[in-house]
Amino acid sequence: MSIKIAIAGYGNLGRGVESAVTKSADMELVAVFTRRDPTSVKTRTGVPVYTMDRAVEMKDKIDVLILCGGSANDLPEQTPAMAKYFNVIDSFDTHAKIPEHFAAVDAVCKENGTLGMISVGWDPGMFSLNRAYGQAILPDGADYTFWGKGVSQGHSDAIRRIEGVADARQYTIPVETALERVRSGETPELSTREKHTRECFVVAKEGADLAAIEQAIVTMPNYFADYDTTVRFISQEELDRDHKGIPHGGMVFRSGVTGFDNENRHIIEYRLQLDSNPEFTSSVLTAYARAVYRMAQEGQTGCKTVLDVAPALLHPASGEELRKNLL
């Protein structure tokens, strides 16, 4: 009896889930739903594709629906709408709007006896977990989150909107000396500039004013002005050859003290190095879909996050096996 999974939205994330399900012996992908013309979408594994509005017809054939749309426009509508019929899970990542999204999904789930899980991925997601564990274990301490080295899609897009830019790729890079200070047990106050640098690879249109492009990038408020930013002009061929991947990652630290005189310091570091940001997020989503299924089977309803999920629920092995082999 495998867990029946469906995907809503067949972009990078949806394809990542399709791939992750093939590595999960206890799961089976039964459908992909899309807002595009389904005849134009060919899935890698041959699983059938339907229009989004036909999902409801398949209600009884799906245990968990994994929503793979974007946080800006898709998920705020889709997750609550689908939670009416399905146990759902998404990777909603607009941190500031999580409480609002949670409330919307929670209300629909409770009314319909379904279970929803939101903001599952690595940040929010695995990074959030590690912040929670760190604070709980070392209440007297400081948190640090660094991102990178990795591609920021939003920043790359911002560069592409500058006049004269044909294409661009932006990397966020943690500052090595800042990492060293935290790892050595200092608890520095770090400014935005001290934590990360930004590196931009830009393809300029023919005849474009390179100096003007560079100036527009490094002074762009919110995106680049508060950082030490490097701009490198390269050809489209170089960009396609050397910067096609979407790697990312980062670290969450908890640095705290114990003892009656705060005499002992402890540093917890959780670090991710990811070749593919969307595929890792998809893998986290797929593992948590297993937990959604199990929690729903237990009769739980309402909205949950990674903070509500016991680790054993993610793993295909039984509690007994886990205690024996991995505890």
The residue within the footprint of a second copy, chosen from 6, 290, 292, 301 (CB under 8 A), is 290
* Residues of span 56-115 touching a second copy by CB under 8 A: 95, 98-99, 102
DSSP 77: H
Q: How far is the CB of 231 from a second copy (least distance, A)?
A: 28
Determine, following the binding rule CB under 8 A, whether residue 52 of this chain makes contact with a second copy. no
Stretch touching a second copy by CB under 8 A, among 6-14, 74-82, 131-139, 226-234 = 131-139
Q: Could you say whether residue 124 binds a second copy (CB under 8 A)?
A: yes
Report in angstroms how near the CB of residue 202 gets to a second copy at its nearest. Answer: 25
The size of the interface with a second copy (CB under 8 A), counted in residues, is 69
Q: Which is nearer to a second copy, 44 or 61 (CB)?
A: 44
Sole binder of a second copy in the list 47, 208, 239, 268 (CB under 8 A): 268
For residue 316, the 8-state DSSP code is: S
Binding mask 153-192 for a second copy (x = CB under 8 A): ------------------------------x-x-------
Cα-Cα-Cα-Cα dihedral sign, residues 301, 295, 118, 135: positive
Residue closest to 142 by CA, chosen among 187, 108, 179, 109: 187
**Residue (161 or 324) nearer to a second copy, CB:** 324
Q: Does 272 bind a second copy (CB under 8 A)?
A: yes
Smallest gap from Cβ 228 to a second copy, in A, equals: 26
Assigned token pair, 267? 């540093």
Q: Tokens 């409770």 sit at which residue? A: 110
CA distance 300 to 292: 9
- Bridge-based pairing state of the strands 3-8 and 27-34: parallel
CB of 80 to a second copy, least distance (A): 16
| Per-residue DSSP letter, 54 | G
State the Cα–Cα distance between residues 324 and 322, nearest whole angstrom.
5
What phi-psi label fits residue 113: left (phi over 0), alpha (psi between -120 and 50 degrees) or beta?
Answer: left
Report the nearest approach of a second copy to the CB of residue 279 (Å): 4
42 lies in the site for a second copy, by CB under 8 A = no
In angstroms, what is the minimal distance from the CB of 54 to a second copy? 26
Q: Determine the Cα–Cα distance for residues 165 and 262; give it in Å rounded to an integer.
A: 53
- At what angle are helices 277-297 and 12-22 packed, to 10 degrees? 60
Q: Which amino acid is at 22?
A: T
Residue 265 found at the interface with a second copy (CB under 8 A): yes
Assess contact for 311 and 325: CB atoms under 8 A: no
Q: Which one of 35-43, 58-66, 216-224, 314-322 is the stretch in contact with a second copy (CB under 8 A)?
A: 314-322
Whose CA is closest to 68, among 53, 51, 93, 90? Answer: 90
92 phi-psi bin (left φ>0, alpha ψ -120 to 50, beta other): beta
CA of residue 199 relative to chain centroid, distance:
21
Could you say whether residue 12 binds a second copy (CB under 8 A)?
Answer: no
Binding site for a second copy (CB under 8 A): 16, 19-20, 22-24, 44, 95, 98-99, 102, 119, 124, 126, 128-129, 131-133, 135-140, 183, 185, 258-260, 263-276, 279-280, 282-284, 287, 290, 305-312, 314-316, 319-320, 322-324, 326-327
